[in-house]
Amino acid sequence: MEELNRISVQEFKEKQKLPLSLILDDIRSMANVGSVFRTADAFRIEKIHLCGITSRPPHREIEKTALGATESVDWQYHENAESLVLALKAESYRILALEQAEGSVSLTRFRPEADVRYALILGNEVFGVNDTLLRHADAVIEIPQFGTKHSFNVSVSAGIFLWDYFTKTIGNVLD
């Protein structure tokens, strides 16, 4: 690991983060939760909010895919995602939902604004982002797809969005 020049968990905690939090609402699969943690660590995001039925660390099924990222990435559990979204809006977060919905904006057209903190909602693997949460979103982002399937796995969607966000903001945010 020394050859990879990885930072320690303590160094991670002290580093500047992308001004982005993730809201995982009613995610059923612990493997998906762990995978999102691991990807969130890679892109050094602010925080993960776990809501509803989403499992919480510590749990060995989450750790299988998180590989320790539950220790580096800040997280918090909230029973009610709508209350969380309203609280984040009150703190001036811009709320995004990653979903296929009427009026959505293609990820290719999404341009993060400087000095804006974002919170991205990722919904249930079967039902997607809850309609109530969609109504609170400032924007709904859709990842373009061109095959026969109609959705990505939630952890894959998180990875695609985070990479896109990272590449659009890297020059302004991280050292």
* Tens digits of residue pLDDT in 110-134: 999 989 999 999 999 999 999 999 9
pLDDT (0 to 100) of residue 29: 98
* Tens digits of residue pLDDT in 83-116: 999 999 999 999 999 999 999 999 999 999 989 9
pLDDT (0 to 100) of residue 172: 58
* Tens digits of residue pLDDT in 23-55: 999 999 999 999 999 999 999 999 999 999 999
Return the exposure string of 43-65: e unless at least 16 CB atoms fall within 10 Å of the residue's CB, then b. bbbbebbbbbebbebeeeebbeb
pLDDT (0 to 100) of residue 15: 94
Best CATH choice for the domain 2-173 from the list 1.10.8.60, 3.40.1280.10, 3.30.565.10, 3.40.50.300 = 3.40.1280.10
Q: At what angle do helices 30-42 and 154-173 cross, to 10 degrees?
A: 10
pLDDT (0 to 100) of residue 4: 77
- Give every CB contact of residue 37 below 8 A, 6+ residues apart in sequence: 48, 57, 62, 65, 66, 69, 70, 73, 75
pLDDT (0 to 100) of residue 23: 99
